[in-house]
Amino acid sequence: MSVASHYDGSASSYGDQYDPEKLWTNAEYPANLFRLQLVQRLLAEAGSTSVYELGVGDASPLSTIGATGLRVAGNDVSPEMVKVARANMEAKGLDGSLITLLDAQDAAAVRAEHELRGEFDSVMALGVIPHVSNDAAFVTAMDDFLRPGGQLLLQFRNSMFSMFTFNRLTKEFILDELLVDVSQEIRDVVAADLDARLAVDKPPKRTRPTGDGYDEILSRFHNPFELVEVVKAAGYSDIRFHWYNYHPAYPMIAGNIDSRAYREAQVALEHEGTWRGMFLCSAGLIEATKNPA
């Protein structure tokens, strides 16, 4: 049971999440499509001419970006994802060998990759930091590939969204983050009250017969304010939040709403762009600028 095995099992169908033709037909909401659109806009606004990605997945984002003329390269920990990623790169006229199989938590492997690839205008990691054990070390790994003054794009699962879910995630956030320094006696009283108020049996955990479902591997949420402090400590400034994967109602009642109408409402919110995204979005992106050396 590992991150690599989970994504090995997802490699063949992962590209569906980026397919605009499946926006209305895919059973799973294509949040990654809107994430890609967001990333493309941010890269263009920064004037980036080169991008390195840690955790490329099937390289749908990186190959799309590379096909516009930017210099690109990246890595992934999943052997199956790397196979698909190289094929996707080649299908768009790019060099498949620009994708390296490595674990971004292996500092020696990252150093060797940096020596091979050099520095870039932008570095991004989309859907990776939930699966790493040391946030600061991971941001350092990203930083290795970025030139001074360059753009860092770091995606995370948004723990603040739990304040809108009214389920076990809400309970975990209140007890483990808001009340972390409160006595156990008080926490026990709060926990019992939350059990009566919240749907603590939801959401169901995503599992697989092979034991490598998304909720069976390391797949952490991050508090955006705490993650920003990690990025700042690594030598970054001009930090901004960008939100995506909007929810117009808390997920456990989404089934009470016409599925087409619900998805239309999600899509309509995707460029809402205000503070509400911190609570309505299950994912976010930190954009930051690397300080001069």
Question: Which tens digits make up the pLDDT trace of 51-63?
Answer: 999 999 999 999 9
C-alpha atoms less than 13 angstroms from C-alpha of 211 in its C-beta half-sphere: 2
Average pLDDT estimate for 137-161: 98
Query: Do the beta carbons of residue 74 and residue 56 sit within 8 Å?
Result: yes
Average pLDDT estimate for 18-31: 92
Check residue 253 and give its pLDDT.
Answer: 97
Enter the pTM of the model: 0.96
- Mean pLDDT computed over every residue of the chain: 96
Check residue 1 and give its pLDDT.
Answer: 61
Distance CA 30, CA 42 (A): 19
pLDDT of residue 105 exceeding 80 = yes
Check residue 228 and give its pLDDT.
Answer: 98
Check residue 220 and give its pLDDT.
Answer: 95
Percent of the chain beyond pLDDT 90? 89
Residue 216 pLDDT class (50, 70, 90 cuts): confident
Check residue 213 and give its pLDDT.
Answer: 86
Question: What residue segments make up the domains of the chain, in order of their start?
Answer: 3-159+209-290, 166-202
Q: How many residues does the chain have?
A: 293
Distances (CA, A) of 3 to 127, 146, 205: 11, 25, 16
Nearest to 217 by CA among 135, 136, 158, 130: 130
Residue 210 pLDDT class (50, 70, 90 cuts): confident
Query: Do the beta carbons of residue 289 and residue 151 sit within 8 Å?
Result: yes
pLDDT of residue 136 exceeding 90 = yes
256-271 tens-digit pLDDT: 999 999 999 999 999 8
Specify the CATH class of 3-159+209-290 in words.
Answer: alpha beta
